[in-house]
A and B are shown apart, each in its own frame.
Chain A
Amino acid sequence: MKVSEIIEKLNLRVFGGEDGLQNEITGGYVSDLLSDVMGNADEGEVWVTLQTHKNVMAISSLKELAAVILVTDHEPDADMLEQANEEGIPVLGTEKSTFEVSGELYQLLK
């Protein structure tokens, strides 16, 4: 499944990183601890988090994640968004909680 498809199916907001909308998704990872994501997430996964700073993009790029979903109406900091656009990694948003959006994402990807 592509990032653009989950945007449509989960009704996600697109903040930036549109160059990566055709990225293929291999799975998801849910965490607000950066070392946890660094150590345990895999290439092609969608990262669900409430962290909104630039280091989220540094990690997404190093790990080659497919996209980031910010939960509960969180919005990316300006420098996070800037790096998302440079790297072409979509930053998406939802008003839903981590629990809800992860459950829906799991149903789509399993």
Chain B
Amino acid sequence: MQVKYQVEGGDFTSAGYASSQVKKLLKQLNVAPKVIKNVVVALYEAEVNIVAHAYRGVIEVELDPQKITLVLEDEGPGIPNIDLAMQEGFSTASPAVREMGFGAGMGLPNIKRNVDDMQLESQVDKGTRLTLIKFFNA
């Protein structure tokens, strides 16, 4: 089973939509509550990163009996130094975004903690692709 969501850069009022839809889906499939919580945290942070840092993106969700795979691909400025971006506290968020309480630099570390596999690939001035896998029996 496959589902897709579009995400617009800068559209904070819709941030979290894909996460809440995926949460509903996983509940319907009777996935363990702990696993749902992990997926929700990771996907929300990834969704917000497109809204806060990129121009537009697509979230592809693939469900199979053992796992969920989330592929978030965006057009945007890309990430010049992925190791630096992964560090807790590192953020390039604008002052306006920080004032809303985003931009603490905790998003990527939160994502990593909550999934079984995380691949972050990026090309400067092109975009970023984040692939997340979470197993249901973990």
Residues of A within 8 A of B104 (CB): 33-36
B114 to chain A, nearest CB (A): 8
Known interface pairs A51-B100, A61-B20, A62-B23; A38-B13 also in contact (CB < 8 Å): no
Residue tally, chain A, CB below 8 Å to B: 19
Q: Which A residues are in CB contact (< 8 Å) with B41?
A: 38-39
Flag whether A32 is at the interface (Cβ < 8 A): yes
Tell me if A58 and B106 are in contact (CB < 8 A).
no
Assuming A51-B100, A51-B101, A62-B19, is B12 touching A38 (CB within 8 A)? no
Q: Does A104 contact B (CB under 8 A)?
A: no
Whether, in the assembled complex, B135 has its beta carbon less than 8 Å from a beta carbon of chain A, the answer is: no
B110 touches A79 (CB 8 A): no
Which residues of A are in contact with B by a Cβ distance under 8 Å? 32-36, 38-39, 43, 49, 51, 53-55, 58-59, 61-63, 79
Interface residues of B (CB under 8 A from A): 12-13, 15-16, 19-20, 23, 37, 40-41, 44-45, 48, 100-102, 104, 106-107, 110, 113
Q: A35-B110, A62-B20 are in contact. List 15 more A-B contacts (CB 8 A).
A: A32-B101, A34-B102, A34-B104, A35-B104, A36-B106, A38-B41, A39-B106, A39-B110, A39-B113, A49-B101, A55-B12, A55-B101, A55-B102, A58-B16, A62-B16
